[in-house]
Structure 1
Amino acid sequence: MTTHPTTTRAGALDGQGPERAGHPETRGIDLVPADERTGHPRRLFAVWAAPNVSYLSFTVGATLILMGLTLPQAVGVIIAGNLLWIFTGILAASGPVAGTSGSVVSRAFYGVMGNKGVLILTGWLIASAYLALNWSAASVAGIGLAGRMGLPAGPAVDAAVICLIAGATLLIAIYGYATIVRLYTALSVLLTLVFVVVTGYVLAQADWSYAPAEPLQGTALAATLGIGFTIVASTPLSYNNSPDLARYLPGDSGPLAVAGWTAAGAYLPSVVFTSVGALAATSLDMSDPQAALESILPGWFVPVFVIAVVANTVANNGMTAYSAGLSIQSVGVRLARIPAVLTIGVLGTAMTLYAILVQDFLTSVNTMLQLVVVVTGPAMAVAVTDLVMRRNRYDGPDLLEQEHGGPFWYHRGVHWSGVLALVTGGLTSLMWVTTTFWTGPIAAATGDVDMAIPSGMAVAAAVYWASARVLGTVPRPGSPRP
């Protein structure tokens, strides 16, 4: 068996542990040795809570009310859409077992060569888009704070704020796993305190008897509920990197504990603060979320709130940039982890500059959240289906083997069951999605009802399971390798 390269820092790819908080992480996608795996799955709660105590949650919650939903309808969509964090948690369980990144584990789904193409889409382009989305949210807040400080308004100041936020984010991604675990534990507490204060002011202003001027009914209501569900659920579906944050746990960590702490850490703050955003929209004009929230906060607290918004975004994107750097290595680009992180950061920064300086922020948010599920939903379905079929039995050294004829070479390097499932699921989702510039033909025929997520995920899971069973490419646990 050919081992995966694990050269020193001066080498072609990356160096080796042990990793310490406050020091740049030297490990890339190579296998985490057993003696460097420590901790308990419960620490994943804070790791996932910090990115999801989020200003973007306020924005998404407000959007549901602006779309015409009642408060109970909006809260119902928020609770249902965030249940998909369960899939993120299930996928995280593969991290301790495999001892390598999720972008390497996915070779089991798509094959060594097929995985490269999928990662270019999900690990580079979509990751860069999410970096831009979150940086845009933080930049809107940071630009407002710069104005309060007396800095002149204009593209130069806007660009400087964006680049400063991007730089802070990439610094966290460069320092890596150990720093993320230590820092996010503190951030989850501090951010929660700040956002709880904001919540108190929102609750004092909220109109608990709010009703839309023209309540939605029939097909219009069904269409709006579907779009709302897609927007909310798009966030958990985007986190196919959850194994990356669990791979340093001991290999015998309980899969239920890993899945549970991951899902709970993200689900609870997401539900709470997205609901607060919906409440805010019952009494405030949330078409400009930052201005609306600042209008009810005491002047001395506004800078604290803005700093918390920026810190949350840095936490969220630090995790995304960290995993995106690993994805670049998994594709086979001969970069060390740190240059790989910087590469994805430059792309995300360019997209952020466009979103802030050219496009309207809320339009950019909603359009992107609706469109990415065409890929992320089926991709998550394939991953979870494979994990269930294998009963979460992944061998790290086998996954890192890339030679022709290796364990995950399949047919000419491609696992056609995975590729077929992703494509058919994506096409199905595209037929059901509803956005401002594209409505799928099936959605249009049913009154613009957006069923992109359930349809795409169901088709992808069914196609993957059936084709892998027929072709015998995913062996049952305990059976010999095909």
Structure 2
Amino acid sequence: MHRRPPTPARFVEGRTIEAVPEDERRGRPRDLFALWFAANISPLTLVSGTLAPVVFGLGLRPGLAAVLLGNLAGGFLMALHAAQGPRLGVPQLIQSRGQFGSHGALLVTVLVVFMYAGWFASNLVVAGQALHRVVPALSVPAWLVVCAVAGLVVATVGYDLIHRVGRWATVLALLLLALCAVRVLTTPDVLQRAAAQDDCTLAGFVGMAATGVLLQIAYAPYVSDYTRYMPSDAAGRRATLWCTYWGCVLGSALPMLLGVVMGLAVADDTISGLAAVLGPAPSAVVLFGFAAVVVHINSMNLYGTALCLVTAVQTFRHRWLPGRAARALLIAAPLAVSLTMALAFQDTFLASYTDFLSVLQYVLIPWTAINLVDFYLVRRGAYDVASFFAPAGGIYGRYQASALLVYAASFALQVPFMHTSAYTGPVARALGGTDLAWAVGLVSATIGYGVVAQLRARRGPCPEAVKAPQETRRSHH
């Protein structure tokens, strides 16, 4: 059935994971800058910057350098996924079926669902604690519920509202960050305490740089979710990549740099320290504003979770696509899980958050390497979109054993290099706690999948052909 472009009467998104045809493509690449910039400027990103002095023992200059290096490098890997959306018109993890097979891609899909829950819970904790400082009459758990429900509303409406909220949230976030930066940088005591510390260890520098890389790559499993409605022309794909890159890098690096300063000046209670520097009235405005930005961020997390759950179910029931009511239920269920996690870990947040980041990098980096090598170097964007939705995986099959083997091997190779509060591998211990697992995972997966692709090519040409995104599923209103 032919689908008309959205109108105000059909504001709630009707599509879920099916390919977006050309006549429904819309949006401008610069909208992606706003989306990703606003998705990063939040209290959680500010707290992430404090990890440099509080967790990794870095002084001012090493901490700032590690933050910049990690975000600039990781942002490029993240943004490379952005061009996949306009090219194929499908969500990111649907495209991953081209590497792992329809059933094999479930491994990453399930992992990403847990990732979303962790990000949602982390954002809720920081926002809830910040708002409680402004309005102590409402408890932290009560604020967690308020922020969670607001994110649920935006995510249920879907793609267009998320982009609209992102544009307004960018303006708000810029004003808030500017206010914070001016007050912090013009407070002599704060800068004096921060500048007096210049400690640096190799383990700390690598750990903080890896945190910056991970904060960018963590978006990789759903970058295409927000570019799949973009026009598919080549110039648009390039603009999509760079707008995504600079939006995400600047949105993450700027508050993290401020977080480094605050972490050095006020130790681990960054929100209290920021409130003290700003003063009562400005701090109330800033913390409420940041909470509004968190609503935008968590709506993206919930929206992505719904797409993952639809992908998982549709793997076994290939003719099923949920309506708006069913999608709302799919969003509400993980929200309840994330809210429960937030309530459980609110008192031990910093330690739990650090370990969460470590585990994420171990499981996501091998996947992103395989996905990018396959898209840019092996198939060069040439996929049979219809096969993504075929009952048995079409030409990609249910499982791609070679990709799964490379993923498993890359993960195993990381184990000796891992460093968390629960486990430290022998190599990491010998290196004084330096965690190089992320680099090992990236290199081993890139080389391993490249070799596998070469061996596969010698057996004959790939059967895939370039096919423009088209209506591969039944229409769903």
TM-score, structure 2 as length reference = 0.88
Equivalent residue for 2:33, pick from 45, 66, 75: 45
Task: Give 4+ residue runs of structure 1 displaced > 3 Å after superposition.
Answer: 15-22, 208-216, 333-336, 472-481
**Within 5 Å, which residues of 2 pair with 1:247-262?**
247-254=228-235, 255-262=237-244
Equivalent residue for 2:76, pick from 86, 89, 98: 86
1:342 and 1:366 mapped to 2: Cα distance? 27
Deviation track 1:105-152 (CA, whole Å, cap 9, x = no partner) reads 010111011112321112x111111111111111111222231xx34x
Deviation track 1:209-230 (CA, whole Å, cap 9, x = no partner) reads 84666834xxxx1111121122
Deviation track 1:226-252 (CA, whole Å, cap 9, x = no partner) reads 211222222111112000000001122
Query: Does residue 1:354 correspond to 2:344, yes or no?
Result: yes
Amino acid paired to 1:320? N
Equivalent residue for 2:101, pick from 96, 99, 111: 111
Amino acid paired to 2:372? V
Secondary structure at 2:229 match in 1:
coil
Secondary structure at 1:360 match in 2:
helix
Equivalent residue for 1:165, pick from 147, 152, 155: 147
Equivalent residue for 1:189, pick from 146, 159, 171: 171
Amino acid paired to 1:390? R
Query: For structure 1, which runs of at least 5 residues remain unmatched after alignment?
Result: 1-5, 7-14, 152-156
Q: Which deviates the most, 31-40 or 73-82? A: 31-40
Amino acid paired to 2:125? S
Residue 231 (structure 1) aligns with: 211
Q: Which deviates the most, 240-249 or 328-337? A: 328-337
Paired-residue identity, %? 25
**Within 5 Å, which residues of 2 pair with 1:99-248?**
99-122=89-112, 124-147=113-136, 150-151=137-138, 157-205=139-187, 206-207=190-191, 210=194, 215-216=199-200, 221-239=201-219, 240-248=221-229
TM-score, structure 1 as length reference = 0.87
Residue 9 (structure 1) aligns with: none
2:459 and 2:106 mapped to 1: Cα distance? 19
**Within 5 Å, which residues of 2 pair with 1:334-345?**
335=322, 336-345=326-335
**Within 5 Å, which residues of 2 pair with 1:63-74?**
63-66=51-54, 67-74=56-63
Equivalent residue for 2:365, pick from 377, 380, 396: 377
Query: Does residue 1:309 correspond to 2:290, yes or no?
Result: yes
Q: Count residues with an aligned counterpart.
A: 449
1:59 and 1:267 mapped to 2: Cα distance? 16
Deviation track 1:234-281 (CA, whole Å, cap 9, x = no partner) reads 211111200000000112253322111111111112122111111223
1:365 and 1:429 mapped to 2: Cα distance? 20
CA gap of 1:245–1:479, structure 2 versus 1, over 3 A, is: closer
CA gap of 1:127–1:344, structure 2 versus 1, over 3 A, is: same
CA gap of 1:405–1:202, structure 2 versus 1, over 3 A, is: closer
Query: Does residue 1:391 correspond to 2:372, yes or no?
Result: no
Residue 429 (structure 1) aligns with: 414
2:364 and 2:67 mapped to 1: Cα distance? 19
Backbone CA RMSD of aligned residues: 2.4
Query: For structure 2, which runs of at least 5 residues remain unmatched after alignment?
Result: 315-319, 467-477
2:375 and 2:6 mapped to 1: Cα distance? 28
Secondary structure at 1:394 match in 2:
coil
Amino acid paired to 1:464? Y
2:460 and 2:335 mapped to 1: Cα distance? 39
1:398 and 1:249 mapped to 2: Cα distance? 22
Amino acid paired to 2:167? T
C-alpha displacement at 1:63, in angstroms?
A: 1.9
Query: Does residue 1:441 correspond to 2:426, yes or no?
Result: yes
Q: Which deviates the most, 362-371 or 162-171? A: 362-371
CA gap of 1:16–1:164, structure 2 versus 1, over 3 A, is: farther
Residue 404 (structure 1) aligns with: 392
Kindly indicate which of the two structures has a greater share of residues assigned to helix: 2
Residue 328 (structure 1) aligns with: 309
C-alpha displacement at 1:421, in angstroms?
A: 2.1
Residue 11 (structure 1) aligns with: none
Q: Is the 8 A contact 1:17 1:26 kept in 2?
A: no
Q: Which deviates the most, 325-334 or 392-401? A: 392-401
Secondary structure at 1:423 match in 2:
helix
C-alpha displacement at 1:189, in angstroms?
A: 0.7
Query: Does residue 1:96 correspond to 2:86, yes or no?
Result: yes
CA gap of 1:475–1:311, structure 2 versus 1, over 3 A, is: farther
Equivalent residue for 1:365, pick from 350, 353, 369: 353
C-alpha displacement at 1:460, in angstroms?
A: 1.2
Q: Which deviates the most, 372-381 or 239-248? A: 372-381
Secondary structure at 1:292 match in 2:
helix
CA gap of 1:192–1:213, structure 2 versus 1, over 3 A, is: closer
